């Protein structure tokens, strides 16, 4: 099977397996504030991640590319969506284009339609420094995502089986390229131990890529003769992974993994995220409803976020890091068992 065919399989299986809604966000609640002392037009959605800045707290997370005309068309429409709504956008893994130059255009089309936008490149942790430089150059990337996908690779019939040296390669890339490096998981979450290890490197941010949304174990199992079902429930739910990373790292934390709506986004920001990635929900909306309807829906989500922030008395994204929240159920139990003081979220002091 070619890489292009595998990319198209991933899109089809991602849509058919769907979003699991096992992220933990249903066990996270804000404490209502009856005197928020704010007007909606005082709320600003400008997002800052180190030297990176864009006008929305949302970014379109890595989805595709390298699958011929099908993925080229998807990336074209995602690029226009990001341009029209102010979201940043990440392309899918560019390794396909590095190995087959004919696939470059399926990634370059993102920069073509969004020449001034915030665009992230993407490679796996097996990449070399030269490949990282080539990926950045290919799309004039503002940052480079390096994805960690051990479980997907193990489940993938033709996947990698050697994961040695990944942290050293990440460190070398982050020291050698001209743009910030963001390390991200691909749907199984990042633990506090991994966050601590990454924080000792020169990367710029961590994207938790938590469990509970698109499940790449289930996707790859659809392509296997003998399924590895034990990986289908493997991982750290997004809300939990976010809390683990925020408590354990001094790097900006990005939230992604099954985030479906405006309330999930604001809960993510409340739990410590500086920006929030969405993928599966956006892809489904785009393919089922078209580009114009998806632009309208994203703009409505931005309005929803402003309303929610107004209800909490928050003028800026970073204000949400201080609002009181109550964690319950499995989320509370996990964090308590891990010594991460979930009760601390409930008693945060926020001066409105």
Q: Which DSSP string do the residues of 38-74 spell out, in sequence order?
A: --GGG----EEETTEEES-SEEE-----SSTHHHHHH
Determine the average pLDDT of the residues in 169-174: 98
Determine the average pLDDT of the residues in 148-155: 96
pLDDT band at 281, cuts 50/70/90? very high
pLDDT digits (tens, 9 = 90+) for 8-26: 555 554 555 556 789 999 9
- Residue spans of the domains in the chain: they are 3-29+52-291
Report angle CA 28, 187, 135 to the nearest 5 degrees: 130
CATH homologous superfamily of 3-29+52-291 equals Aldolase class I (3.20.20.70)
Looking at residue 79, what is its pLDDT?
A: 98
Looking at residue 15, what is its pLDDT?
A: 54
Looking at residue 21, what is its pLDDT?
A: 83
d(CA 309, CA 320) in angstroms, rounded, equals 8
Give the residues across from 119 on adjacent strands.
89
Judge whether residue 6 has pLDDT over 60: no
Per cent of the chain over pLDDT 90 is: 90
d(CA 98, CA 114) in angstroms, rounded, equals 22
Looking at residue 352, what is its pLDDT?
A: 61
pLDDT digits (tens, 9 = 90+) for 241-261: 999 999 999 999 999 999 999
Q: Is the dihedral of CA 286, 57, 323, 308 positive or negative?
A: negative
Give the residues across from 184 on adjacent strands.
147, 207
**Whole-prediction pTM value?**
0.93
Calculate the average pLDDT of the chain: 94
d(CA 322, CA 319) in angstroms, rounded, equals 6
3-state secondary structure of 347: helix
Per cent of the chain over pLDDT 70 is: 94
pLDDT band at 183, cuts 50/70/90? very high
In degrees rounded to 5, what are phi and psi of residue 280?
A: -55, -45
Cα-to-chain-centroid distance, residue 81: 17
Determine the average pLDDT of the residues in 125-138: 98
Poorest-pLDDT segment among 67-71, 87-91, 319-323: 67-71
d(CA 260, CA 195) in angstroms, rounded, equals 24
Report angle CA 207, 145, 180 to the nearest 5 degrees: 95
Determine the average pLDDT of the residues in 135-160: 96
Judge whether residue 305 has pLDDT over 80: yes
d(CA 42, CA 65) in angstroms, rounded, equals 38
Q: Which two tokens stand for residue 211?
A: 């469990």
Judge whether residue 350 has pLDDT over 90: no
pLDDT digits (tens, 9 = 90+) for 196-252: 999 999 999 999 999 999 899 999 999 999 999 999 999 999 999 999 999 999 999
Looking at residue 349, what is its pLDDT?
A: 81
Torsion of CA 207, 24, 191, 350, to 10 degrees: 70
Fill in the DSSP letter of residue 318: G
pLDDT band at 5, cuts 50/70/90? low
**Residue 164, CA distances (Å) to 116, 134, 300, 345 in order:** 37, 23, 44, 37
Determine how many CB atoms are found less than 10 A away from the CB of residue 229.
12
């Amino acid at each position: 099977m070619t890489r292009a065919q595998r990319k198209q399989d991933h899109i089809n299986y991602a849509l058919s397996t769907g979003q699991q809604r096992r992220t933990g966000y249903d066990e996270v609640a804000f404490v209502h504030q009856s005197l928020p002392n704010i007007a909606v037009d005082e709320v600003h959605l400008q997002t800052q991640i180190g030297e990176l800045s864009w006008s929305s707290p949302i970014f379109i997370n890595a989805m595709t590319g390298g699958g011929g005309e099908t993925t080229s068309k998807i990336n074209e429409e995602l690029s226009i969506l990001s341009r029209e709504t102010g979201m940043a956008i990440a392309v899918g893994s560019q390794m396909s284009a590095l190995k087959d130059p004919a696939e470059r255009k399926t990634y370059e089309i993102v920069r073509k339609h969004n020449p001034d936008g915030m665009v992230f490149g993407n490679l796996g942790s097996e990449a070399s420094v030269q490949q990282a430089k080539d990926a950045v150059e290919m799309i004039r990337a503002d940052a480079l995502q390096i994805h960690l996908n051990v479980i997907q690779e193990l489940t993938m019939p033709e996947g990698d089986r050697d994961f040695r040296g990944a942290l050293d390669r990440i460190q070398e890339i982050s020291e050698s390229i001209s743009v910030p490096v963001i390390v991200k998981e691909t749907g199984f979450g990042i633990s506090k131990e991994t966050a601590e290890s990454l924080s000792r490197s020169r990367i710029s941010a961590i994207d938790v890529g938590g469990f509970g949304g698109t499940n790449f174990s289930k996707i790859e199992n659809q392509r296997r003769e003998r399924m590895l079902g034990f990986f289908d429930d493997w991982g750290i739910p997004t809300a939990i992974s976010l809390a683990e990373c925020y408590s354990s790292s001094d790097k900006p934390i990005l939230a992604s993994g099954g985030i479906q709506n405006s309330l999930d986004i604001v809960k993510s920001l409340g739990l410590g995220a500086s920006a929030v990635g969405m993928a599966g929900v956006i892809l489904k909306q785009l393919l089922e409803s078209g580009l114009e309807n998806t632009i309208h829906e994203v703009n409505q989500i931005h309005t929803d976020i402003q309303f929610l922030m107004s209800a909490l008395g928050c003028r800026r994204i970073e204000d949400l890091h201080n609002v009181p929240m109550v964690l319950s159920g499995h989320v509370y139990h996990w964090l308590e068992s891990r010594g991460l003081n979930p009760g601390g979220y409930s008693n945060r002091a926020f001066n409105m």
